[in-house]
A and B are shown apart, each in its own frame.
Chain A
Amino acid sequence: MKVLLPLHLNKVGAGFPSPATDYVEDDLDLNNHLIKNIPSTFLIRVQGKSMNKVGIHDGDLLIVDKSLNPKNFSTVIVNINEELVVKTFVRENNKSFLTSGSKKIEDKINLIENPEILIWGVVTYVIHAL
């Protein structure tokens, strides 16, 4: 991932310095905004439509931070049946579940009953083309 160096607006010159110097120092950098932890953050592409309701669509880019632990309603990448999939992480009465966009009860996976399921990372942003 690229890290940009700050660009200082005003050259040191003889004339009166630009009054805006103190306010504008850099172009907006989306990397800075979207990525908090560079070594643990991965870009992953989505395949499938079953998370549409959560705002995740086929072909979207997910920004995934592996260093984070999921909170209630976090969108997570999990390893189920030897595959990486997107799910929603839910806590109810001290129990942890995974749900998908469908919200159907039978789709709910109890994490305590399925200890082989591992949380791979937490999705922090979705990049979706309109």
Chain B
Amino acid sequence: MHYNKNKIALVDCNSFYVSCERLFNPSIAKKPVIVLSSNDGCVISRSTEAKNLGIKMGEPYFKVKKIVKENNVKTFSTNFALYGDISRRVMKTLKLFSPQMEIYSIDEAFLNLSSIKDEDLLEHGYKIRKTILKWTGIPTSIGIAKTKTLSKAANYIAKKEKSGVIDLINSKQIDEILSKIKINDVWGVGRQLTKLYVKNGINTAYDLKNINNGWIKKNTNVFGSRTAMELRGVPCVSLEPYEEKRKSCCVSRSFGKKVTKLEDLSEALTTHCLNAAEKIRQDKQTVKKITVFIRTSPFQKNKNYYANSKSVELPISTNDSILLVKKTLDVLESIYKKDYHYQKTGIVFSNLKDVDIYNKNLFSAINNEEKRTKLMKAIDYTNTKYGRHALSIAQAGVKKIWNTKKQHSSKIDTTSFQLLPTVRTT
């Protein structure tokens, strides 16, 4: 590949969840707004006004409650039905600007802009931004550069300086810009690497760019070298236009209120297990390893903190909900301790494999595998037709006292006739 022709744009939606909430609610347009994670636990999206009040990303809600009250910060619980639909619209619009696109998360995507002339890149960036805003109502920031890592850096600056689009390809000030980016804000540099770099005097993206190859090979893994190369403008991480199948699947939630009984934990975990099983069936995958975890609140002041997790390997890969729930509850029972106020439980399916329809094993007949597959199909069909959890297993409970409290949900769903946004006539 002629890498000097490589042009990558990273398009990132600004305060995405907040922007979605604002779409049908102009009354919060210029006000401080935050969105809280499930069960109104932590701040996961902030408007610029909320950022300026000093509310930090990921902070637990109770810690910012005072600021929220004093400044009348509008607070929302997550509304993923809405965010998901708006995200799909943003991505569909972006795809018109480049068929080669990698959806990186719910609110960001890499675009290959190699076919655009260098001198037109900045204008093209502004055109993308304008179109997304007009069509979907979502403001974005765009970073354009020769590599994914540099496009991330450009995006970071575009957001920080509120310039909308930063093009590093035609920029003579790359080094100046890179020296403004702290090492822990560089894409691909995690906590461990940050520690190592800072200890060795590498404090900015610019420092990492100019580090000696020998040093980095000796002291870090292949990812460290890659990041340094990418900062120099040599593409090492390619665009992945095709969605890779997931390698693991995690479902977890905080509880609406503290839970102590094994029964309630079991109900919650069963529900998570069923959700995870449905997800992997959708992707035609099976699971070999289950991990269950439980924990109390880490912010609890007294010493009653307890957290534990345990994994089991299944004898045969499966996606049969009934088998999976049984195993999951066995594991839960083995790590459950009485008298703790649990705040969260979850399940991770790992070692996922594609369903191999030809691979009949010795126990297929004994386990009634074919019948079970049909049963799972029937369950999934019913649930898509009549709504999630229309058909469940009794273990998942009916009351769900542990379930998510969504005190501040906007209750708008652009994909449901019952919950469409409304307009008034005057």
Task: State in angstroms the CA–CA spacing of A67 and B136 once bound together.
Answer: 8
Q: A66 touching B135 by the CB < 8 A rule?
A: yes
Task: State in angstroms the CA–CA spacing of A87 and B88 once bound together.
Answer: 29
Cβ-closest 10 pairs across A and B: A40-B135, A48-B425, A82-B27, A39-B89, A51-B425, A39-B92, A79-B26, A50-B425, A84-B423, A39-B93
In the complex, chain B residues whose CB is within 8 Å of the CB of A61: 420
Task: State in angstroms the CA–CA spacing of A120 and B90 once bound together.
Answer: 17
Task: State in angstroms the CA–CA spacing of A45 and B421 once bound together.
Answer: 6
26 contacts between A and B (CB under 8 A): A39-B89, A40-B93, A40-B134, A44-B420, A44-B422, A45-B420, A47-B424, A48-B425, A49-B425, A50-B426, A56-B425, A61-B420, A66-B136, A66-B137, A67-B134, A82-B26, A82-B29, A84-B26, A84-B421, A84-B422, A84-B424, A85-B423, A85-B425, A100-B425, A100-B426, A120-B137
In the complex, chain B residues whose CB is within 8 Å of the CB of A90: none
Task: State in angstroms the CA–CA spacing of A54 and B333 once bound together.
Answer: 64
Q: B92 touching A83 by the CB < 8 A rule?
A: no
Looking across the interface, which residue of chain B has its beta carbon closest to that of A84? B423
The residues of B with any CB-CB pair to A shorter than 8 Å are: 24, 26-27, 29, 88-90, 92-93, 131, 134-137, 414, 417, 420-426
Q: A40 touching B422 by the CB < 8 A rule?
A: no
Contact partner, A46, options B26, B27, B135, B425, Cβ 8 Å: B425
Q: B135 touching A42 by the CB < 8 A rule?
A: no
Task: State in angstroms the CA–CA spacing of A39 and B132 once bound together.
Answer: 10
Q: A43 touching B135 by the CB < 8 A rule?
A: no
Q: Shortest Cβ distance from B227 into chain A, in angstroms?
A: 34
Looking at chain A's contact residues, the main secondary structure is: strand
In the complex, chain A residues whose CB is within 8 Å of the CB of B92: 38-39
Q: Shortest Cβ distance from B395 into chain A, in angstroms?
A: 33
Given contacts A45-B423, A48-B424, A84-B422, 10 further A-B contacts (CB under 8 A): A39-B136, A47-B424, A61-B420, A66-B135, A66-B137, A67-B135, A80-B426, A82-B29, A85-B423, A120-B137
In the complex, chain A residues whose CB is within 8 Å of the CB of B421: 42, 44-45, 84
Task: State in angstroms the CA–CA spacing of A120 and B25 once bound together.
Answer: 11
Task: State in angstroms the CA–CA spacing of A51 and B131 once bound together.
Answer: 30
Q: B93 touching A85 by the CB < 8 A rule?
A: no
Task: State in angstroms the CA–CA spacing of A42 and B415 once bound together.
Answer: 9
Q: Shortest Cβ distance from A87 into chain B, in angstroms?
A: 8
Q: Shortest Cβ distance from B90 into chain A, in angstroms?
A: 8
Interface residues of A in 32-85 (CB under 8 A from B): 37-40, 42-51, 56, 61-62, 66-67, 77, 79-80, 82-85
